[in-house]
């Protein structure tokens, strides 16, 4: 802010405005300096941590035991992910089959679950390639009312 921008005010008012402006600017400059200082400290810490991480990575690469444990963990994670994916797919398939069952009556839950499992098995059978849930349901229940 410049004094020329305040020429519509009296000199005393301009002095007060400039004093307040100066205080505000000083406060912000101090905050900026503090933030810059804090930022430099944090950047130093980041560099230190990066160095430590690199040192740790070098040590773990050379350590066969850790490598073996890492590989076992990776295998375990992959197996768990595959199992979870299979469970999710099975749940989706079960939900779709159950949606087909809506409005249909069964003699028992045992019969319902048996038909559900037969449809799932049928979908995995290569002979039924191209057939859908409805097709298998119709085949399995034809003339069995």
Query: What is the mean pLDDT of the segment spanning 60-71?
Result: 80
pLDDT value of position 44? 93
pLDDT in tens, 106-117: 889 998 899 999
**What secondary structure does DSSP assign to 20-33, as a single string?**
HHHHHHHHHHHHHH
Q: Flag whether pLDDT at 141 surpasses 90.
A: no
Beta-carbon neighbour count of residue 80 at 10 Å? 10
**What secondary structure does DSSP assign to 56-122, as a single string?**
HHHHHHH-HHHHHHHHHHHHHHHHHHHHHHHHHHHHHHHHHHHHHHTT---S-HHHHHHHHHHHHHH
pLDDT value of position 145? 59
Q: Flag whether pLDDT at 140 surpasses 90.
A: no
Q: Flag whether pLDDT at 42 surpasses 90.
A: yes
**Which carries the bigger pLDDT value, residue 144 or residue 38?**
38
Q: Flag whether pLDDT at 85 surpasses 90.
A: yes
For 79, what's the count of Cα atoms within 13 Å in the CB-facing half-sphere?
6
Q: Which two tokens stand for residue 46?
A: 């980041």
pTM of the shown model: 0.46
Confidence of residue 65 (pLDDT cuts 50, 70, 90): confident
pLDDT value of position 73? 95
Closest CA to 20 of 1, 44, 42, 43: 1
pLDDT value of position 1? 66
Angstrom distances, CA of residue 24 to CA of 1, 9, 15, 18, 19: 12, 20, 14, 10, 9
Q: In b/e form, how buried is each residue of 22-58, taking b as 16+ CB within 10 angstroms?
A: eeeeeeeeeeeeeeeeeeeeeeeeeeeeeeeeeeeee
């Amino acid at each position: 802010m410049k004094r020329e921008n305040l020429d519509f005010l009296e000199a005393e008012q301009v002095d007060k405005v400039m004093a307040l402006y100066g205080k505000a600017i000083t406060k912000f400059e101090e905050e900026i300096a503090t933030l810059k200082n804090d930022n430099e400290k944090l950047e130093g810490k980041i560099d230190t941590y990066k160095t430590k991480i690199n040192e740790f990575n070098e040590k773990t690469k050379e350590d066969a035991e850790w490598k073996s444990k890492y590989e076992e963990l990776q295998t375990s994670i992959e197996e768990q992910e595959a199992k979870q994916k299979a469970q999710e797919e099975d749940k989706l398939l079960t939900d779709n089959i159950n949606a087909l069952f809506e409005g249909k009556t069964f003699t028992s839950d045992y019969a319902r679950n048996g038909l559900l499992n037969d449809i799932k098995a049928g979908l995995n059978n290569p002979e039924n390639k191209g057939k859908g849930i409805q097709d298998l349901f119709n085949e399995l229940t034809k003339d069995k009312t």
